């Protein structure tokens, strides 16, 4: 039985200054994470997501033939139904400070993921980059600076195959170097990118235009093996996955 941690409970008293966004965001407590080391053999949709490992999937995507990047954030299907759609999710991402790629141009490889839902490996459905400014040009041009200077970004897949149609979004979030370093992931970039997105989601209500949301986070361990075995660039990660449940206000 999983117990969700509310946004107020998941924040530590200490705060940190995030220089990339110029705002204070809370550090998010990971104490008391739910342990899912063993693989449950049953498909249970009531949790809002299904462990991909049950039907042969995994929480690493396929970046190269042998390496992958951690799917370290899950948007539970217990969330606002609107953000479970592709257009709704893209709008919710804007409320967190992410938007589509600079001028609609894709940089880098197309990643694949197997979410254990019967769809086997699927290409990423969305790649969003942190936007650094809103004017001129709005967030899409704002992501152009991320493409040059580096920053946080994520890829996402929806778990919607016929064998495990939870409707949840699975995200691979990380922080990367600038273009001069070919967008390599920074040291500890998987943990840093994940924590940035989670902090944006739970610190206070987020909004885009007239839509407002508030997220709760549950930390789950055991879905990913801590360390860097099979992880792209050989970068260690702590093995924790943040499950967000996002409610519309």
pLDDT digits (tens, 9 = 90+) for 139-196: 444 445 445 556 799 999 999 999 999 999 999 999 987 555 455 799 999 999 999 9
Are the CB atoms for 1 and 187 separated by under 8 Å?
no
Secondary structure class of 42 (helix, strand, coil)? coil
Helix H or strand E segment including 195? helix 189-202
In the numeric block, which tokens belong to residue 3?
């117990």
Q: What is the value of pTM for the model shown? A: 0.84
How far apart are alpha carbons 87 and 209 in whole angstroms? 14
Q: What are phi and psi of 241, to 5 degrees?
A: -115, 130
Q: Report which DSSP code applies to 59.
A: S
Buried b (16+ CB within 10 A) or exposed e, 165-179: bbbbbbbbbbbbbbe
In a domain, 39, yes or no: no
Residue with tokens 């990913």, as numbered in its chain: 224
pLDDT for res 249? 97
Q: What are phi and psi of 188, to 5 degrees?
A: 65, 20
Q: Return left, alpha or beta for 78; rule: phi > 0 is left, psi -120 to 50 is alpha, else beta.
A: alpha
pLDDT digits (tens, 9 = 90+) for 33-87: 999 988 877 788 999 999 999 999 999 999 988 899 999 999 999 999 999 999 9
In a domain, 193, yes or no: no
Secondary structure class of 226 (helix, strand, coil)? coil
Domain total of the chain:
1
In a domain, 211, yes or no: yes
In a domain, 82, yes or no: yes
In a domain, 3, yes or no: no
Domain that holds residue 98: 11-33+48-188+203-248
């Amino acid at each position: 039985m999983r117990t969700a941690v509310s946004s107020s409970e998941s924040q530590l008293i200490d705060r940190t200054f995030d220089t990339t966004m110029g705002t204070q965001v809370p550090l998010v407590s990971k104490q008391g994470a739910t342990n899912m080391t063993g693989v449950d053999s049953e498909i249970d949709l009531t949790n809002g997501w299904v462990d991909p490992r049950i039907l042969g999937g995994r929480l690493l995507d396929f970046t190269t033939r042998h390496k992958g990047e951690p799917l370290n954030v899950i948007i539970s299907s217990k969330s606002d139904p609107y953000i479970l759609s592709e257009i709704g999710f893209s709008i919710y991402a804007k409320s967190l400070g992410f938007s589509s790629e600079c001028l609609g141009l894709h940089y880098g490889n197309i990643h694949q993921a197997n979410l254990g839902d019967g769809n086997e490996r699927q290409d990423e459905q969305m790649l969003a980059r942190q936007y650094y400014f809103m004017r001129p040009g709005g967030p899409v041009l704002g992501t152009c600076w991320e493409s040059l200077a580096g920053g946080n970004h994520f890829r996402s897949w929806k778990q919607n195959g016929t064998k495990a149609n939870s409707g949840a979004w699975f995200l691979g979030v990380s922080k990367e170097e600038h273009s001069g370093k070919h967008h390599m992931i920074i040291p500890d970039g998987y943990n840093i990118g994940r924590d940035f997105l989670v902090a944006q989601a739970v610190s206070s209500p987020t909004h885009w235009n007239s839509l407002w949301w508030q997220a709760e986070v549950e930390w789950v361990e055991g879905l990913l093996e801590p360390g860097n075995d099979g992880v792209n660039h050989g970068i260690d990660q702590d093995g924790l996955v943040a499950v967000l449940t996002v409610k519309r206000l």
